[in-house]
Structure 1
Amino acid sequence: MNRRISSTSHHAHPTPPARRASGSHAAVGEQHRILHQLVNDPVFRLRTVDDSAWIDPYTGSAVPSAKGDLAVARDHLLGTRPWTKGMGPKSLADLQVARWSQHLRQHLRHDARLRIIGVDGWWLEPYGGRWAQVPLEHQRITARTVDAMAHVMARSPEAQAGRLLSVESLDQLAKARLSRGLPPSVRTAAPVAKPPRSEDADDRIPTDRIQRPLAPAPARSVPLVTASMARAKQVMDRMLPPLPVIPGIGLAVHYEPLELVGGDFYDCITLDDGRVLMVVGDVAGHGPEAALTVTATLKALRFIAADEPDLVSIIERLDANIVRDLPTGHFVTLFACLLDLQTLTCECVCAGHHAALLASPNRRGMLVQVGHHGPALGLGHGGVGWRPHRLQLAPGDILVQCTDGLLEAANANDVHYGRLRASSTLIANLDEPVDQLPLRMAQAAKIFAARPFTDDVTVLALAIPRSG
């Protein structure tokens, strides 16, 4: 509180009590009005498609905030006070268009599912699976193209539900259109890149110029993505199934590849003796080639773990297995944790991967780094250098490991999210259900960076339930 107002000492021009009370009541009333709107008015409750930010209903701009955090939106509105400048909230329809326009600008370049479009301008809306005519300029996606796409998305109930159709479903829709003889044939636009500077550059999205013109696809093949990526996606869906339900522990994962498929992986394997092997790994590179290396690594790991009880021996045999098949200069980083469910003892190995984080409100040291540094897999070092880190887990413990895509998420000033911020997010969410923790850590990194990830991101969490 302002000391001059609350003090009983004499001042030359004290504020009249009635005026002070009136101003205070007005401010409180304004806060209550804003909170009522944030809770009850759909125009004030809109968030970005990836749920990383709240949308200012007066300007349509995105304000980074965690889901359910009304304080950020309230403070933003109280700080900007747009109604004092004659501004009113936009309509919900206009805000939906702005929401989808922002999403497309951020993801159009990276997600090929958003770019199934023909040379005639017919575009496949990937949520509802309906075709829509959008404008192209010299077979290039411009700001007008994205605006037309956003209007289509804003009217699509399926888009509002937020679930993209599967690769297979979209591919079938593209093929069905081609089979009906609708010219021209449809294909996925090539990856996009920044356009060169030009006089009409203001009409172009900074990252939306197609690198080569759209061309008719062969009649027998209308791929959503390249054939190799489609095959890799199908394989990865089988290799990275949902985590198992294991009595006595909680498990959760957030997996977010940069492209349709990626080089991150995770697994949870129950051994014959009842112990549980959990891994998080990262293959150098992105896309189909990295995904195929992931597949080979996971197959080898599952085969070896079936008859090898020792963790270091598993890592040594895995290294010897994959080193022969990795392309020159490629490698795999891996964190592995072997947990005895009866005693809650575990041992962990870091093979080129950073240490995991162990947090608990019940420990004297609330946060501990877990894992001794060792060499990555596939470098041909002969299996020298891996040491297990042994520890005793207890009720209330949460062990979290991630890939470097989370820690290296950078903001506009090229400052990385880093381990310190990741640790703070973990500590701040210790009381939350473990199934929410990986997603919250990923969302916190996105909010910090204020832009999409530029690498594959995986976060795996293991929790020992608290007693009682």
Structure 2
Amino acid sequence: MSLWGKKSKEAVTPQVNPAVERERMLRRTQWKRLQQHLSDNPLFGQTTFDGLFWIDPFTGQKINAPFDWLTTAKEYFGTSEHWRKGKTLSMADLRHIKWSHHLNENFWNDERYRLFLDNGLWFNPFSRQVDQQIRKDGSVISRGTIGEIARTLAAMPQADPTRLTSLEVLLSKHPELSPQEESEDQEVTIDSGDFSFGQQTSQLESDSPEGFFHGGISAPKNGSKEPAKTAGTDPGKPSERSLRRHSSIPELPLEIDPPAAVSTPTVNGDRPSTDMMVNDHRTVTLSDPNETMARSDSEGGGFHDNNSDLEMAARVQQQLLGKVPDIPNADIALHYEPCHYVGGDFYDFIELKDGRWFILLGDVSGHGVQAALVVQSIIKTLRFICMYATDPEVLEIMATLNDSVKSDLISGQFFTCFAAIVDSRNPDKVVVEAACCGHHPSIVVNAYGPVYMRSVGTKGMAVGLSSGKMMKQVTSVDTIELGPGDCLFVWTDGLSEAMSPEEEEFGDWRTRAACIAHADQDIKDQVDALVEYVLSFSGGIRQDDMSVMALRVPHPDDAVDEEEEADSEDED
């Protein structure tokens, strides 16, 4: 729906399959969440201690990534689908995998992992205590023993190979210890190269990413185990010892269970220590609660939304948002289009007591009814604040709004907005005091020049993330003057982040270019042209709410241009 004084032409939207559109929207949402996890969730950034492999948090597979694990991870997830419906392993599981890999490579090369008492009990080189639960079988260290050592070290957050004390220091303080030497009959190896967690992921064999990324996964599924690469060695020429171990010893399957508390009495028989428990067994899933709706539609069941209720909710929301007002000495055009009946985009125009106007275009995180309910709370609270503000300033209003609605937001929810106080009482110029609260900067374009485009605002803190006091400290206010012909454009990310069928983002630069390209047109035509360009780019598919607001100061030559255009039409 387009909102302004005149009725605009209805844009022709190509017919699309609702199931396909929902699936595209769902995948795009999940992909954005995945990118966020890759940026700040430690579960998604685990590599082996030698830095040669990145560990898929969903399957536990090791992916060759000796140079840049993040780029490798993005490429890997881009060619597979298992992450969309799977659940990650916990940090405890991933640490177990890391230690299994490390011991497989270093157990027989580093004597510090092979310290035992005469009675066969293992000495933990990190805690410097004897572990009563781990014992070698006579003179043989079995694969089960090595597996228990890996599990124990994984349960110790402080255990890291780079922090391991030198062998000389360990032996000098504990002379009763002796390293276990490797013998020909040792039953060795603990392999973490081929993990299978069928209960944790729905990855199909056809989705397997083998063969990609720097040579593929370290352990092929056909059972032929290639020797893992280690720093300082020729990967094409494994050592004789490594070949002997891999060819003659059966592989140890890795079973992921919650690690028990590590009970490790000291050499002197003190009370066991149980403070090394790894409690972080949290996991992550990227599947969306709305996914069942998308699946049922693709299976022919159609949408199960109550359309009449949603249409009623849309009318209520539209009534709340209201119409675009007439502001002195300025023209306003607005395009507001929720993705599904009701949405998280919103706007408001509030006249202040002194004749200035408070305008806002915002975007609540999330979609649908829940986001629409938050919008209702925001709008009502904002109008109340503006009604009683004695000497309103844009940042003071936003800080008060932040503290007032923060309790209405669910955990982790926030909203971004472009907020401004517009003073159009002077016919010669319009003064705008603007704050970008978590929102991207806006632009001003002018077809008459001399400056055709300039940026407005600096991205500050989104509403709902912290206190209003903090918001005022980290968010700045830009004051600009709009002269004749200047047009201020503000939009939500549903426009700039629209995706093409080839999964290319429309982007801020295309948005700015489209605004400049149509700057010589009527303000409502400028907004129409921008929206039509975006829909053409995305193949007519809207993945998010889409809103654009434009405020323009008329130029004296506008009337001349209209007369020339009318004369041209008459001649035709």
Match 2:496 to one of 391, 407, 411: 407
Residues 1:340 and 1:213: Cα distance change in structure 2 (over 3 Å): closer
Q: What does residue 184 of structure 1 align with?
A: none
Deviation, structure 1 residue 212 = 7.8
**Which residue does the alignment assign to 1:5?**
none
Distance, in Å, in 2 between the alignment partners of 1:312 and 1:374 is 11
CA contact (8 A) 1:356 1:399 kept: yes
Give the direction of change, closer, same or farther, for the CA distance of 1:412–1:273 in structure 2 (3 Å limit). Answer: same
Once the two structures are TM-superposed, the CA of residue 247 in structure 1 deviates from its matched residue by: 3.0
Please point out which of 449, 456, 459 is paired with 1:370. Answer: 456
Say whether 1:238 aligns with 2:319. yes
1:334 partnered with 2:246: no
Determine the C-alpha separation between the residues in 2 that align with 1:236 and 1:447: 27
Distance in 1, matches of 2:303 and 2:459, equals 48
Q: Secondary structure at the match of 1:334?
A: strand
| Pairwise CA distance, 1:262 | 0.4
User: Quick one: distance in 1 between partners of 2:408 and 2:381?
Assistant: 12
Aligned partner of 1:293 in structure 2 is 374
CA distance in 2, matches of 1:348, 1:311: 7
* Alignment check: 8 A CA contact 1:193 1:211 kept: no
Aligned-residue RMSD, C-alpha: 2.6
1:107 to 1:395, Cα distance in 2 relative to 1, 3 A = farther
Map residues 162-181 of structure 1 onto 2, 5 A cutoff: none
In the TM superposition, residue 211 of structure 1 has moved relative to its aligned partner by 5.0
Choose which of 205, 209, 213 in structure 1 pairs with 2:299.
Answer: 209
CA contact (8 A) 2:441 2:455 kept: yes
SS in 2 for 1:322: helix
Structure 1 gap ranges (5+): 1-47, 53-101, 111-189, 196-206, 215-221
Flag the 1:451–1:209 CA change in 2: closer, same or farther, 3 A: farther
Distance (Å, rounded) in 2 between the aligned partners of 1:339 and 1:448: 33
Structure 1 residues 104, 415: CA separation in 2 closer, same or farther (over 3 Å shift)? closer
Aligned counterpart, 1:273: 354
Structure 2 Cα separation of the partners of residues 406 and 109 of structure 1? 16
| 1:51-90 equivalences in 2 (<5 Å) | 51=12
Q: CA deviation at 1:365?
A: 2.6
Q: Kindly tell me: are residues 230 and 448 of structure 1, through their superposed partners in 2, closer, same or farther at Cα, counting changes over 3 Å?
A: closer
Residue in 2 that maps onto 1:139: none
Name the structure 2 match of 1:105. Answer: 17
Mapped to 2, the partners of 1:104 and 1:365 lie a distance apart of 41
Question: Which residue identity does 2:481 align to in structure 1?
Answer: Q
**Alignment-derived partner of residue 39 in structure 1:** none
Aligned residues of 2:400 and 2:468 also touching (Cα < 8 A): no
Which residue in 2 is equivalent to 1:395?
484
Match of 1:347 in 2: 433
Describe the SS at the equivalent of 1:315: helix
Q: Which residue of structure 2 aligns with residue 259 of structure 1?
A: 340
Secondary structure of the structure 2 residue equivalent to 1:239: helix
Name the amino acid aligned to 1:270.
E
Change (3 A) 1:191 1:395: farther
Q: 1:395 to 1:256 in 2, by over 3 A?
A: same
The count of aligned residue pairs is 273
- Structure 1 residues 103 and 270, CA gap change in structure 2 (3 angstroms): same
CA distance in structure 2 between the aligned counterparts of 1:235 and 1:383, rounded to whole angstroms: 33
Whole-Å separation in 1 of the counterparts to 2:507 and 2:478: 23
SS at structure 1 position matched to 2:388: coil
Letter of the aligned partner of 2:342 in structure 1?
A: V
Secondary structure of the equivalent of 2:464? Answer: coil
Which among 522, 541, 565 is matched to residue 452 of structure 1?
541
Residue 514 of structure 2: aligned partner: 425
- The Cα of 1:246 is off from its aligned counterpart by 2.2
Deviation of 1:223 after TM superposition, in Å, equals 4.4
Q: CA deviation at 1:444?
A: 0.5
**Aligned partners of 2:303, 2:491: CA distance in 1, in Å?**
39
Structure 1 pair 213–237 and aligned structure 2 pair: CA distance change class (3 A): closer
Deviation for aligned residue 1:282: 0.2
Cα displacement (A) at 1:260? 0.8
Deviations 1:35-66 (A, max 9, x none): xxxxxxxxxxxxx98425xxxxxxxxxxxxxx
Q: Distance in 2 between matches of 1:361 and 1:321?
A: 41
What are the Cα deviations for residues 300-335 of structure 1, in whole angstroms up to 9, with x where unaligned? 111111222111110110000111111111001010
For 1:250, the aligned partner's letter is D
So what's the TM-score if we normalise by structure 2? Answer: 0.45
Alignment of 1:311-330 (within 5 A): 311-330=394-413
CA, structure 1 residues 466+405, in 2 after alignment: closer, same or farther (shift >3 Å)?
A: same
**C-alpha contact 2:349 2:360 (8 A) present in aligned 1:** yes
1:193 and 2:276 are equivalent in the alignment: no
TM-score by length of 1: 0.54
Residue 273 of structure 1 aligns to which amino acid in structure 2?
A: D
Which residue of structure 2 lines up, in the alignment, with residue 361 of structure 1?
Answer: 447
Q: Quote the Cα distance in structure 1 between the aligned partners of 2:303 and 2:320.
A: 35
Q: Is the 8 A contact 1:232 1:292 kept in 2?
A: no
Contact 1:49 1:103 in 2 (8 A): no
> What is the DSSP-based 3-state SS (H/G/I as helix, E as strand, rest coil) of the residue aligned with 2:326?
coil
Q: Structure 1 residues 231 and 49, CA, compared in 2 at 3 Å: closer, same or farther?
A: closer
Q: Indicate if the aligned counterparts of 1:406 and 1:445 stay in contact, CA closer than 8 A.
A: yes
2:552 matched residue in structure 1: 463
Deviations 1:59-81 (A, max 9, x none): xxxxxxxxxxxxxxxxxxxxxxx
2:407 counterpart SS class: coil
Q: Relative contact order (alpha carbons < 8 A, sep ≥ 6): 1 or 2 greater?
A: 2
Instruction: Compare 257-266 and 232-241 and name the one that shifted more.
Output: 232-241
- Output the amino acid matched with 2:463: L
2-structure distance, mates of 1:322, 1:230: 26
Q: Could you tell me how far 1:430 is from its partner in structure 2?
A: 1.0
Q: CA deviation at 1:413?
A: 2.2
**CA drift at 1:106:** 5.0
Query: Does the residue aligned with 1:383 lie in a helix, a strand or coil?
Result: helix
Give the Cα–Cα distance (whole angstroms) in 1 for the partners of residues 520 and 374 of structure 2.
37
SS in structure 2 at match of 1:439: helix
Percent identity over the alignment is 31
Q: Report the Cα offset of residue 107 of structure 1.
A: 8.1
Q: Kindly state the Cα deviation for residue 242 of structure 1 after the two structures are TM-superposed.
A: 1.8
Structure-2 separation of matches of 1:242 and 1:382: 29
* Partners of 1:354 and 1:373 within 8 A in 2: yes
Q: What secondary structure does 1:378 align onto?
A: coil
Q: Distance in 2 between matches of 1:51 and 1:252?
A: 20
